[in-house]
Amino acid sequence: METAASPPYKHLDPSTSEIRLLEVPSDGSKDWGLVTVSLDDNPEYAALSYVWGEKEDLRNINVQGQNAKADAICINQEDDEERSQQVKLMYRIFSCAQTVYSWVGPNDYSLAFQAIKTLAHEVARNRSNNTIHDGHDDSARTMHVPPFEIEWLRHHPSLCDEPTGTSPYDGNYKVDAMTDLLADPYWQRVWIFQESVLARQLNLVSSGSIILSWQNLSVAAESFYNLNLRWQVGQNLLQRPDFLPEMTWTHLAQFLKVDHAHWDTAALASWLIATDPKDYIYGLLAISRIPITPDYSKDVAEVYADFVERWMETAKQNGVENFNLLGFLAVAGAGAFKPTYNFPSWAPNFPENGRSDYKVHFDSSMSGKIFRGEPSKCPYLAKNTGSLFVWGAEIEPVLHVFKPCPDEDLDRQLCDLGFFLRDYTSRHSHYI
């Protein structure tokens, strides 16, 4: 962050969990202020969650008479020690905020927000307990959400109208608005993931005038996700109702097939994106609770080695039969990605995976009985040599490594194979 000769930052006392708050001027002026408070005093404040912009796209605001870049203002981004200390406090900062405003802009998603509110309240209307909480508390998270019934749309003609555009790709304007919201880069960021989970009360805002509560969003998403599961079990379970035009039904079907994991706080971190490669580790500590001390002065490879070491220790402490001790190898750089940041071959390459069009799944679930009952045979990391030791059986050498096949290509290839087999067996019945 570039500042004037006399920067507005004063030293923060980590012993009292001090943070800075940005004070918004009540007179509407552009002269904002920075106030230092201690989290130990339970201050009242609202937190802002947003996607960092590109370094080339910066805006100036006036902070305490000084010109500062409007990005991550409350933390001195040039002070690695302060950044490391503040990352340790992220759990308290976002979980103690009275509310968290999440900026999904700069697009105006008012239409999508209103449509999602409509869907959420339709779900609530059809529940035995038809209350939708505006908060983001434990009772709201655990409540049962029924699968969405297409018949419910009969009460909302605006969600059923024929597409207004002339292109065959144009769908119902409200369904298209929700699809655009789901595709926003906002959902892919590491820090957004953590901040959404930690917030007691989360409200999404865009450049429009409508605010969407996280509870309304999650209720609608979960209800549609449950419908999506039914869709996948058997597509013949859902038939086009008579009140839905053919084109609207087609586009709604595509929307139902969209992966709603972006809206699910259980989505895997290895599918997310961060500007700073260290944030793949530090940006999720408040959720993972893996005992790592953030230190932005370390190089990237060392940070990832720390992560693997602590990951394996945590796995052993929680029982290797319930925890995938070597799950991080699914995202390791050997073969799947080009070597970067001097990563060891066994280090999970979250940065390259985040940039890839075909992201690899990082499975942290149980690893069966592979290491169970033999602690001496558990894998271990020798940081002094940068080596990971794993016991196993040699099967065959790896001759070739290929990039993952896109789902659409795999579907097409399987269809082609199916057509070939059908044609071949029809002409050679003795092979059946």
94/121 same-domain check = no
What does the pLDDT average to over 92-114?
89
Give the end of a domain, one of 226, 244, 263.
Answer: 263
Q: What global pTM score does this model have? A: 0.65
346/380 same-domain check = yes
Which of 123-127, 256-260, 308-312 shows the highest mean pLDDT?
308-312
Whether the ω angle into residue 348 lies within 30 degrees of 0, i.e. cis, is no
What does the pLDDT average to over 407-422?
71
Query: In this predicted structure, what is the pLDDT of residue 408?
Result: 57
What does the pLDDT average to over 29-38?
84
User: For 31-144, where are the alpha helices, taking DSSP H only?
Assistant: 80-88, 90-96, 110-125, 138-142
Bridge partners for 69 per DSSP? 60
Query: In this predicted structure, what is the pLDDT of residue 232?
Result: 55
324/378 same-domain check = yes
User: Which residue range(s) make up the domain with 233?
Assistant: 110-263
> Each residue of 377-393: pLDDT tens digit?
788 888 788 889 988 77
For the chain, the average pLDDT equals 75
Nearest Cα to 208, choosing from 179, 183, 182, 177?
A: 177
Given a cut of 70, is residue 280 above it in pLDDT? yes
Concatenating the DSSP letter of every residue in 373-418 gives T-GGGS-EEETTTTEEE-------------PPPPHHHHHHHHHHHH
Report how far residue 249's alpha carbon sits from residue 106's, in angstroms, rounded to the nearest whole number. 30
Report how far residue 347's alpha carbon sits from residue 45's, in angstroms, rounded to the nearest whole number. 39
Given a cut of 50, is residue 259 above it in pLDDT? no
Bridge partners for 382 per DSSP? 387
**Top-confidence residue, 46 or 64:** 46
Query: In this predicted structure, what is the pLDDT of residue 265?
Result: 34
98/117 same-domain check = no
In a domain, 417, yes or no: no
What does the pLDDT average to over 147-168?
72
> Each residue of 353-376: pLDDT tens digit?
777 777 776 665 555 555 665 667
Report how far residue 193's alpha carbon sits from residue 171's, in angstroms, rounded to the nearest whole number. 29
289/382 same-domain check = yes
Nearest Cα to 255, choosing from 183, 179, 311?
A: 179
In a domain, 432, yes or no: no
Report how far residue 280's alpha carbon sits from residue 274's, in angstroms, rounded to the nearest whole number. 6
- Give the pLDDT band (50/70/90) at residue 109: very high
Which of 36-50, 130-144, 174-188 shows the highest mean pLDDT?
36-50
Q: Any idea what the Cα angle at residue 173 is, between residues 167 and 177, rounded to 5°?
A: 115
In a domain, 400, yes or no: no
Concatenating the DSSP letter of every residue in 298-356 gives S-HHHHHHHHHHHHHHHHHHT-GGGS-TTGGGGGBSTTTS---TT--TTSB-HHHHHH-
Given a cut of 90, is residue 18 above it in pLDDT? yes
Question: By three-state DSSP, how is residue 99 classified?
Answer: strand
Given a cut of 70, is residue 76 above it in pLDDT? yes
Give the end of a domain, one of 37, 69, 103.
Answer: 103
Report how far residue 136's alpha carbon sits from residue 97's, in angstroms, rounded to the nearest whole number. 12
In a domain, 1, yes or no: no
Nearest Cα to 191, choosing from 84, 271, 274, 88?
A: 274
What does the pLDDT average to over 127-132?
56
In a domain, 4, yes or no: no
Give the end of a domain, one of 66, 85, 103.
Answer: 103
Given a cut of 90, is residue 113 above it in pLDDT? yes
* CB of 172 closer than 8 Å to CB of 159: yes
Query: In this predicted structure, what is the pLDDT of residue 369?
Result: 55
**Top-confidence residue, 17 or 258:** 17
Query: In this predicted structure, what is the pLDDT of residue 134?
Result: 46
Given a cut of 80, is residue 40 above it in pLDDT? yes
314/371 same-domain check = yes
Given a cut of 50, is residue 262 above it in pLDDT? no
CB atoms under 10 Å from CB of 88, counted, come to 17
Instruction: Give the chain's domain count.
Output: 3
Given a cut of 80, is residue 111 above it in pLDDT? yes
Dihedral sign for Cα 287, 389, 349, 268, please: negative
Question: By three-state DSSP, how is residue 73 classified?
Answer: coil
Which of 60-64, 221-225, 331-335 shows the highest mean pLDDT?
221-225
What does the pLDDT average to over 106-127?
88
130/146 same-domain check = yes
Concatenating the DSSP letter of every residue in 199-268 gives -SSEEEE-SSS--EEHHHHHHHHHHHHHHHHHHHH-GGG----TTS-HHHHHHHHHHHTS-GGGG-TT--
